[in-house]
Amino acid sequence: MLGKLARDIKAWGKELGFAQVGITDTALRREEPRLQAWLDKGYHGEMGYMASHGMMRARPAELHPGTLRVISVRMDYLPPQAGFALNLKDPNLGYISRYAGGRDYHKLMRNRLKKLGERIDEALKALQLEGSGFRPFVDSAPILERPLAEKAGIGWTGKHSLILNHEAGSWFFLGELLVNLPLPMDVAIAEGCNTCVACITSCPTGAIVEPYVVDGRRCISYLTIELAGSIPLEFRPLLGNRIYGCDDCQLVCPINRAAPLTAETDFHLRPQLKQPKLLELFAWSEAEFLKNTEGSAIRRIGHERWLRNIAVALGNAPGSETIVAALQERLTDASELVAEHIEWALTQQAEKLSANDTAPIPARKTGRLIRIVEKGLPRDA
């Protein structure tokens, strides 16, 4: 009976839009020393929530008492016509990580997982059995979703620490449904990275300090999203035109060449975020920012950090009197945080203009990245 239920769960998951469904137990003890070592080195930076729950992240049964199995799901998000190379090649455009160009995935996936749990309970009720005691998670609780996905056969952990799948690459979200059912489990798949280190050598800021280990404090996603204060001076030129997140380690990954496009139209790029001009984004008022990012993951950083990030990108853009004028205008009513980054950007612009040089400050390795992307993009991306 449980074997049939497991097969039904996977079929129901596909009907709900999940590209893959796997099942595993809650045993993550081997992850505890790795997590503790990562925390001890301070690689979590200002992400205090990574340390605040201790080892509960590796103990799902403590998070939800009675849990016997974790149903791990994958939902693809690679949008059509993503325009990676075009976006990165033009320093006057703002680059936004492609997971954030459409609707925020958290509520969408959580609602689908809840529906999956309800369907499981309906099936159990029809058999006059107790419910599954399900609880859905999508980045909403301290749980190690990637090791669980690996154990559930969704993929293997790549050297950039993301989950990779031979058919899907890494352009997908993960979610979990904790249940009190002893369902049959799936088998983990073998690692497929072999000797490849493309993600490590292509990281603009050298954030992948060793295979499978990311120093979050150096990661552009951390710097532009998680970091609340000032972006360290050493990293500002390396950000290039990346204003929200970074996809470089995924773009160079050869496994991603066969990645499928998303079936969810909600994950398609919004018109205002598709090849967006930095100066237009910088001109948004807070009201415009909130309107244009409604229902988007971008909204969580707020207007102040949005302006901070764009100011850095404008500093990295080609020398331009128009950019200087926009920076100076925004400086008149900028917060202390934003003003600091605007002044840095003005200094960069002044240096280029005084040297009569309109070239942008090069973000390390971006040129090589663009060549790789142009050669190996998924279809229609």
Rounded to 5 degrees, φ, ψ at 52 are -70, -20
201 marked as part of a ligand binding site: no
Determine if residue 379 is labeled as part of a ligand binding site. Answer: no
Q: How far apart are CA 177 and CA 138, in angstroms?
A: 9
**Token digits for 248?**
């470089």
**Helices in 21-94 by DSSP H: which ranges?**
32-40, 49-52, 60-63, 84-89
- Per-position b or e across 134-173, b if 16+ CB within 10 A of its CB: bbbbbeebbbbbbbbbbbbbbbbbbbbbbbbbeebbbbbb
Is residue 249 marked as binding? yes
d(CA 270, CA 264): 13
Dist CA 202 CA 186 (whole Å):
33
Q: Is 221 annotated as a binding residue?
A: yes
Is residue 246 annotated as involved in ligand binding? yes
Amino acid at 360: P
> Annotated binding residue at 139?
yes
Instruction: Confirm whether residue 57 is marked as ligand binding.
Output: yes
Residue 139 is among the residues annotated as catalytic for this protein: yes
Q: Does 195 appear as a known binding residue?
A: no
Torsion of CA 108, 111, 112, 117, to 10 degrees: 160
Q: Please identify which of the residues 8, 25, 139, 186 carries the catalytic annotation.
A: 139
Residue 196, annotated as binding a ligand: yes
Query: What is the rounded CA–CA span in Å between residue 245 and residue 234?
Result: 17
The response to whether 193 counts as a known ligand-binding position is: yes
CA distance 289 to 268: 19
38/139 Cα distance (integer angstroms): 19
Decide if 232 contacts 352 (C-beta within 8 A).
no
Catalytic residues: 139
Q: Residues annotated as binding site for [4Fe-4S] cluster?
A: 193, 196, 199, 203, 219, 246, 249, 253
Q: Residues annotated as binding site for cob(II)alamin?
A: 57, 139, 157, 163, 174, 221, 246-247
Q: Residues annotated as binding site?
A: 57, 139, 157, 163, 174, 193, 196, 199, 203, 219, 221, 246-247, 249, 253
